Amino acid sequence: QKEVEQDPGPLSVPEGAIVSLNCTYSNSAFQYFMWYRQYSRKGPELLMYTYSSGNKEDGRFTAQVDKSSKYISLFIRDSQPSDSATYLCAMSANTPLVFGKGTRLSVIA
């Protein structure tokens, strides 16, 4: 079993939809959780990060961490065509980040 599992998609949604992106993990020591967004031919850029369990909201983005289920989510409200990108989850136990393989999202106008 991979340490971090992420459905690669692709995921295609209409503009304005709510998008849910998810990762599961096996290492219970992970305590730092991050979401990165990567546009084509660019490096990943940090979108959200949280420590331990709970929710964090930033504008249209909400990150959730459920350590008991070893499950993290990223919700995007009112999705826009500019949100079309690959979304990578990443997590760490104060060690180098372990990344999911990324989910490719397309938001259709």
Partner 1 sequence: NAGVTQTPKFRVLKTGQSMTLLCAQDMNHEYMYWYRQDPGMGLRLIHYSVGEGTTAKGEVPDGYNVSRLKKQNFLLGLESAAPSQTSVYFCASRGPMGLQPQHFGDGTRLSIL
Q: Quick one: residue 82, left, alpha or beta (phi over 0 = left, psi -120 to 50 = alpha)? A: alpha
The answer to whether 44 contacts partner 1 (rule: CB under 8 A) is: yes
CB of 14 to partner 1, least distance (A): 27
Calculate the alpha carbon distances from 30 to 8, 75, 89 in Å: 21, 21, 12
| CA–CA gap between residue 10 and residue 33 (Å, rounded) | 22
- C-beta of 43: minimal distance to partner 1 in Å? 4
Closer of 11 and 17 to partner 1 (Cβ)? 11
CB-nearer residue toward partner 1: 15 or 45: 45
Does residue number 32 form part of the binding site for partner 1 (CB under 8 A)? Answer: yes
Residue 94 makes contact with partner 1 by CB under 8 A? yes
Q: Rounded CA gap, 54 and 13, in Å?
A: 26
Give the full edge-to-edge strand order of the sheet including 61-66: 4-6, 19-25, 71-76, 61-66, 54-58
| Contact status: 1 vs partner 1 (CB under 8 A) | no
Which residues would be at the binding site for partner 1 (CB under 8 A)?
A: 6, 8, 31-32, 34, 36, 41-46, 49, 51, 88, 90, 92, 94, 96-97, 99-102
